[in-house]
Amino acid sequence: MIYADYNATAPLRDEARRAMLVALDAGANPSSVHAPGRAARKILETARRQVATAVGGIASDVIFTSGGTEAIALAIHGAVAKLDGDCTLIVSAIEHEASAKNAGFANVPVETTYVLPTGEVDLNALSDRLKAWDTSRSGTPILVLMLANNETGVIQPVTEAASLVREAGGLTICDGVQGLGKLPVNVSLLGVDYLTLSAHKAGGPQGAGALWLRSGAPLKAKLHGGGQERSLRSGTENLSGIAGFGAAAEAAVTDLPAMEGLAALRDAMEQRLKAEGQVTVFGEQAKRLPNTSNFAIEGFRAETQVMAMDLAGVAVSSGSACSSGKVKRSLVLSAMGAPDSLAECAIRTSYGWKTKQEDFDLTADAWLEAARRRKLKETA
């Protein structure tokens, strides 16, 4: 089977598996003061340093969570609560549901910032909105903008957007889940106040994530209890998951050159697909993650393609990763201006650390064969 669904979950890296086994055997609570507890604490703090280093930050600014969704929820609700609700969330139209839905439940006004047909957030529109910002009426502006889109791979101009927001006296929450291990991530260069991460997108285990928080950025805890994670996220830490996360983050950053090398193979695959017919590649005019390709051909429904590819031994997804299985039209592609008839026909292939060069050829072979059969059926 060729696995081409890394943006949903990347296969576990060997480094992560090894670190997890050591952590599972630690058998103690990292908050305990005895020697086994201190050994568990050491594992936890090593992972914190690894995750912080992977995003150019310092360990004391990393708060571990149960994954990307919880990190996003903590950033949004925690910032809003600390500001006593005197704020407005500006959410990009292509955010993952974790951001869009948590913003919707935050009990403060939410504005949408739109994207260009390229899939990149419209910086001019954002700038105009922020220039007209009236803090006495709308409170602090909080921008929620992802680093790279999970469906199209389009990389967002986060540094530029965060700078506009900072000038307007606001804060930026960046969902970095799809960025880690796929492009260089540096919190200082991004200039954001909050960065959310998830282990399983970078070759770590599912169920571990982190919120990097700029020192001094407002945040109120949402989960109360034993005071772990500087009392910002109580609950005994998922030590093995976090150890796997740390090891995966470190390995993913070391592997960045190999990841970047996937772009040329991805582009060649897209050329082959496009040579055969009216294939649209979403986001191809913008800077994209090197591993992602989202394409469609009118009339060939996504679910049919996913099934045909599965039968041919290639695992791909349709629409958004987290909603695979419950196929629905992509809001991201609609936000980019794709007509419904085309958005319904989009599939996403995404690759990563285990991918071999021939996987791209075999993906193209399988898809071209499926498209040929569909044409035959149509003309029969």
Query: Which residue among 122, 175, 237, 255 contacts ligand PLP (CB under 6 A)?
Result: 175
Instruction: Give the pairing type, strands 194-198 and 171-175.
Output: parallel
Query: Which residue among 30, 57, 67, 319 contacts ligand PLP (CB under 6 A)?
Result: 67
Binding of ligand PLP by 174 (CB under 6 A): no
d(CA 197, CA 69): 9
Query: Which residue among 19, 57, 61, 69 contacts ligand PLP (CB under 6 A)?
Result: 69
DSSP secondary structure letter of residue 358: H
Instruction: Identify the CA nearest to 298 among candidates 363, 368, 346, 369.
Output: 346
Considering only 55-63, 65-73, 135-143, 291-299, which stretch makes contact with ligand PLP by CB under 6 A?
A: 65-73
- Tokens for 196, please give them: 């959310």
- Quick note: the x/- pattern for ligand PLP over 297-326, rule CB under 6 A, is ------------------------xx----
For the chain, give the longest Cα–Cα distance.
75
Q: How far is the CB of 327 from ligand PLP (least distance, A)?
A: 16
Q: Is 107 helix (H, G, I), strand (E, B) or coil?
A: coil
The crossing angle, in degrees rounded to 10, of helices 35-54 and 14-26 is 160
Q: How far is the CB of 338 from ligand PLP (least distance, A)?
A: 19
The 10 Å Cβ neighbour count of residue 376 is 9
Binding of ligand PLP by 102 (CB under 6 A): no
Query: With contacts defined by CB under 6 A, how many residues of the chain interact with ligand PLP?
Result: 14
Binding of ligand PLP by 198 (CB under 6 A): yes
- Tokens for 375, please give them: 């044409």
Q: How far is the CB of 378 from ligand PLP (least distance, A)?
A: 34
Q: How far is the CB of 122 from ligand PLP (least distance, A)?
A: 19
Binding of ligand PLP by 46 (CB under 6 A): no
Element (H, E) at 280: strand 279-281
Considering only 31-39, 63-71, 231-239, 331-339, which stretch makes contact with ligand PLP by CB under 6 A?
A: 63-71
Instruction: Give the pairing type, strands 209-213 and 194-198.
Output: antiparallel
Q: Which is nearer to ligand PLP, 30 or 319 (CB)?
A: 319
Q: Which of residues 135-154 bind ligand PLP (CB under 6 A)?
A: 146, 150
Q: Which of 87, 174, 322, 345 is catalytic?
A: 322
- Quick note: the x/- pattern for ligand PLP over 177-196, rule CB under 6 A, is xx------------------
Nearest residue to ligand PLP, by Cβ distance, number only: 68
Sequence-separated (6 or more) residues with CB below 8 Å from residue 31: 37, 41, 226, 228, 236
CB neighbour class for 34 (10 Å; exposed up to 12, middle 13-18, buried from 19): exposed
Q: Which is nearer to ligand PLP, 97 or 276 (CB)?
A: 97
Q: How far is the CB of 9 from ligand PLP (least distance, A)?
A: 8
Binding of ligand PLP by 218 (CB under 6 A): no
Please state, in angstroms and as integers, the Cα–Cα distance from residue 314 to each residue in 266, 274, 317, 360, 361, following that order: 15, 19, 10, 10, 11
Q: Is the dihedral of CA 330, 316, 185, 160 positive or negative?
A: negative
174 is annotated as an active-site residue: no
d(CA 69, CA 72): 5
Residue ranges that bind ligand PLP, judged by CB under 6 A = 67-69, 96, 98, 146, 150, 175, 177-178, 198, 209, 321-322
Q: Which residues are catalytic?
A: 322
